[in-house]
Structures are given as structure tokens and as C-alpha cells.
Structure 1
Amino acid sequence: VYGQADQMPITEDAPVKKAESPYGNTKQIGEEIIRDTCNVNSELQAISLRYFNPMGAHPSAEIGELPIGVPQNLVPFITQTGVGLREKLSVFGDDYPTPDGTCIRDYIHVVDLAKAHVVALERLLAGKNPQNYEVFNVGTGAGSSVLDVISSFERVSGKKLNYKIVNRREGDITAAYADTKKANEILGWKAGSTLDQAMKSAWDWEQRIRN
């Protein structure tokens, strides 16, 4: 919902800018509907969790991400390339103003994300929310570049990933990673998994469903 934020990490107080993509716009519209409905109906209680970049799978490898068609998210495209389903991963741009030139995002393990939902629901059910509409960032608080994520895959899989640098993609912002202090302090929630742990779970899932 933040678009290309002016400062990193991004707090919940950062302005909601014009979306850079239709996908980002759907996030903004969804929040507007919930917020406006809460404004006119004080009995409705809601919390918006602002996800950053969910990735990974349940540690049992029984539940995971299986996109329909060609993945639009980085991690499943990486694992599908690693397992041989895709020939090559395209890295969209290496000329961004970041340490290695590739886009930076905040990648959060999907299990940590699920736990955030649980604590948010418990807050609502217990009536601990002082306003009937609240917003929390849900991320790790750390940014990882596309090349960082590729390196993580290569570490946990022991495989060299086939990738190439191509031109930038329309709608991609340079960097986005969360300030999670509000969720840490008010919800008592904090992401517990590292990038490598999340990537390992994604790779375990990918191998399981292809075997």
C-alpha cells in the first residue's frame, strides 16, 4: 500500500502513495473499504495486516505455495527453476540504487505471517483494540535483495541457480521493508524465521510436490 516510500524501514505512519501497479492498487482499495466501513459502523472491529513478501511453506512440507501457471512471485520462480520446471530465472534490473543493484524486499516466512493473524484475531476477540480499526506492518524488519534471495536458495539447496539479468520491469519499486516495532510492542508478535529457514521450507515443498 505504500508505493515507493520516502524512508526505510517503512512505518505504519508512512503516506499511502499512488500505487505503482494494479496489484498494489487492490491492496489500497481493500484497506479503504474496511476503514471507511469501520468509520460508519462503530460496532465493526477490524485489523489490517500489511504483509510485506510472504514466502516459504509449512515445515511438514504438506502445505505450500503452488502458483497457477508461471509464478509472479520471486521465490516460487526460484524453486521451480531449481527443480528444473523453469529453464531460467530473469532478474529484472541490476541498476537500482541498492548495494547490489537489484530490488530489495522484506521476505517473511508464511508461518510467521499465520501467527500474526492469530494474535490479531485474539486481540479483537478479547476487545483489546482501543480503536475499531487498526493497522500493523507484518514483516521481518530487514530488506533482502533479489541476489540475496538467490544466494539463500543456493546455500540451502546446494544447487547453482540458472539466472540472467534483464531489463527492469514496469511497476517494480526500488525497495520496501517494514518497521515492525508497532506489531512487536502492541501485538507481542515478531517474525522468528531467517531468510534461509524460509527458503529451505520453500525448497522442501517444491521437491516434495515434484517427486
Structure 2
Amino acid sequence: MKGKVLVTGGAGYIGSHTCVELINEGYEPVIVDNFSNSERFVIDRIREITGVKCSLIEGDCTNQNFLESNLKSLDLVGCIHFAASKAVGESSKLPLKYYHNNIASTVAILAVLEKINCPNFVFSSSCTVYGQPDILPVTENSSIKPAESPYGRTKQMCEDIIRDCYNAGQGIKAFALRYFNPIGAHPSALIGELPLGTPNNLVPFITQTAIGKRAELTVFGNDYNTPDGTCIRDYIHVVDLAKAHVKAIKKLIVSNESVFDVINLGTGHGNSVLEVIESFEKVNGIRLNYKIGPRRNGDVEKVYADCSYAKDTLNWKTELSLEEALKDAWNWEKTL
């Protein structure tokens, strides 16, 4: 193995897929998770996919003493930090939960990594840091607007914290990966998006409606300035996204250069909510029961990425289509 990589929130949606890709690349993931928004069976599923059992440390990443006592003897080569609350809509209702979970965990992890001399850090950021952009597609040099939600503000703040640590000469080497809208599931249908309670993202709401868990799907607004009136997002297959994280941490590990950089991860084009619904119906042969509802607080009208910098910096680009992601998401839903 090439070394141990800490994966906070590693039992979660993107974290679990990244653990699979880390193992495929010869790294040994060490998961820290408190299972506040994930399930324990995911650890077994990672082993089923890869044949490798991940190390698991159960606990809260906002607790610096807990982190230090458990990590100091592990000889980590890097850290990928996913652990955070992540629902845009919920963050507008529960802002203190988001400021505590997302910011305190990042501060605690950075402090511990400095103490144990582990400089390589990949941060799970978000396109929400851009707010509603003036010009599309969004590049890494686009203006950082006031975020539309507390969730987005926490990602902006965490990026600032990492940048400040880098500028202070604390030896950190870091990428903040600003990704767009992850969807889909592993093609094995053994791991995928598993929201606890009511989903806050579009695709699990689609799949739960299709299978009958929910009576209907609500489209939040059809009066936006878009071709069909519904919001436009850049939907990226979670396996493509996971591979980008592995490329990022690998580049930091093998490089001797001190760096802090931000990188967009997306497909480079947008799809509207109605386009996603229609694609799901077509690829899976299912009719969805949906209605148009009012706009939702915190939603940006349209956003999609310019991903050329990711190709130049990480030698990465997406390989999987929207249709493949929606097929994988449906196969995953059917196993639950």
C-alpha cells in the first residue's frame, strides 16, 4: 500500500466512493465518521467492492482531543476532509448546526494535522462559494459572491481558513475542490446516496418517488430565467468525482511544493431540473409523478463549471454521462 489517507466522513456518499477509488489506487483509507448522516453497513460494502476492509474510527470531527488521540500514531500521508452537514435548504433553517459542524471540524482537523506533521490536505468545497455567478461557465477566477445559504458561507469560510493557514507558513499543502452536483452511485449498486429522512437533493427525491417511497416530486420553481424555467446545475457522476479526489491527494503526496489552490470539478455543462427528470424517465423507462411548487430559499438560478483547470492541474475530466449516473442511481435505489 502507498500509505494511509484519513477520510473524514468516509462512510458518507462521496466519502465512501472515494475510499473505493483510494483502495483501487493502492492507498489505505482510514475513515473517521460519527454516522450522523451515514450508515455503518457502508463500511462492509466498501470491503465487498474492493476486498479490503477499511480502518474505522468512530467519533466527532469537531472534537480536537478525540482526533489527536486517535490519529497521532497512524503515520498518515494525507487527509481528505468530507465531514460536514451538506443540505442547502436545511442550512437556511438550522444555520448554527452548519456553522458548528462544518467550520469547527475543519479547524480541529487542520490543527491536528499540523501537530502530527501531515501537510497534505484535500478539502471538500462546493460551487456554492460562487453564489449566483455573473458569467457562465464558472472559472476558478470568478468572483466570490455572497453565498445564497449558510451552507455556502461555511464553505467560503473554510476555504479562507485553509488559505490563512497556508499564508501563515504552517507547512500545509492543500487543494479545495469546488464541485458541482454529485449524482449517481457505484455501478455495483452496493453504495450510493443515502439521505436520512427527507432528501434535500434532486436525484434521490426522483428515485424515491419512482420506487413509491414518496407520492410525488416537487420541482421548486419554474419561473427562473432558464429555457424551461427550472434551475440549471452541473450534474457530475460520483465515481468521476471520487477519482478526482484521489488524483488531488496523490499529487500533493508526491510533490514537494507548498501549494494552496482551488479547482472546479464538474462536467462543463448544465442540465435543468426538468431535463434531469425527462432523462431519468427515458433511460429507466419510468414515468414520474411530479408537480411544480414555489421556489426554495437558497437556490441559485443556474450554475455550471469551466473544468479546464482540473484537466491541466490534475489530468482529470469526467468520463461518465448524465444518463449513466441516473441509471446507476436507480439501480442503487432498487437495492434499498
* TM-score (ref. length: structure 1): 0.96
Equivalent pairs counted in the alignment come to: 208
Q: Which has the higher contact order (CA 8 A, sep 6+)?
A: 1
Aligned mates of 2:216, 2:169 — CA distance in 1? 50
Q: Deviations over 1:175-196 (max 9, x none)?
A: 0100000001221100111100
Aligned mates of 1:192, 1:26 — CA distance in 2? 30
- The alignment yields a C-alpha RMSD, in angstroms, of 1.0
Q: Deviations over 1:25-47 (max 9, x none)?
A: 12112211111111112511000
Which residue in 1 is equivalent to 2:239?
111
Which residue in 2 is equivalent to 1:37?
165
Which residue in 1 is equivalent to 2:322?
195
Which residue in 2 is equivalent to 1:17?
145
Confirm or deny that 1:123 pairs with 2:247.
no
Gaps of 5+ in 2: 1-128
Aligned mates of 1:41, 1:88 — CA distance in 2? 53
Aligned mates of 1:200, 1:44 — CA distance in 2? 40
Q: Deviations over 1:111-151 (max 9, x none)?
A: 0000000110111011175x520110000001000001101
Which residue in 2 is equivalent to 1:83?
211
- Aligned AA for 2:219? V
Q: Is the 8 A contact 1:42 1:132 kept in 2?
A: no
Aligned mates of 1:32, 1:42 — CA distance in 2? 14
Q: Is the 8 A contact 1:47 1:120 kept in 2?
A: yes
Q: Is the 8 A contact 1:96 1:102 kept in 2?
A: yes
- Aligned AA for 1:104? I
Which residue in 1 is equivalent to 2:175?
47
- Aligned AA for 1:49? L
Q: Is the 8 A contact 1:82 1:159 kept in 2?
A: yes
Equivalent residue in structure 1 for 2:268, among 130, 141, 156? 141
Write the mapping of 1:147-158 to structure 2, written as runs, cut at 5 A: 147-158=274-285
Query: Greater CA radius of gyration, 1 or 2?
Result: 2
* TM-score (ref. length: structure 2): 0.61
Aligned mates of 1:42, 1:119 — CA distance in 2? 23
Residue 160 to residue 133, structure 1, CA distance change in 2 (3 Å): same
Query: Following TM superposition, where does structure 1 have runs of at least 4 consecutive aligned residues deviating by more than 6 angstroms?
Result: none
Aligned mates of 1:35, 1:75 — CA distance in 2? 33
Q: Is the 8 A contact 1:113 1:138 kept in 2?
A: yes
Gaps of 5+ in 1: none
Aligned mates of 1:70, 1:93 — CA distance in 2? 19
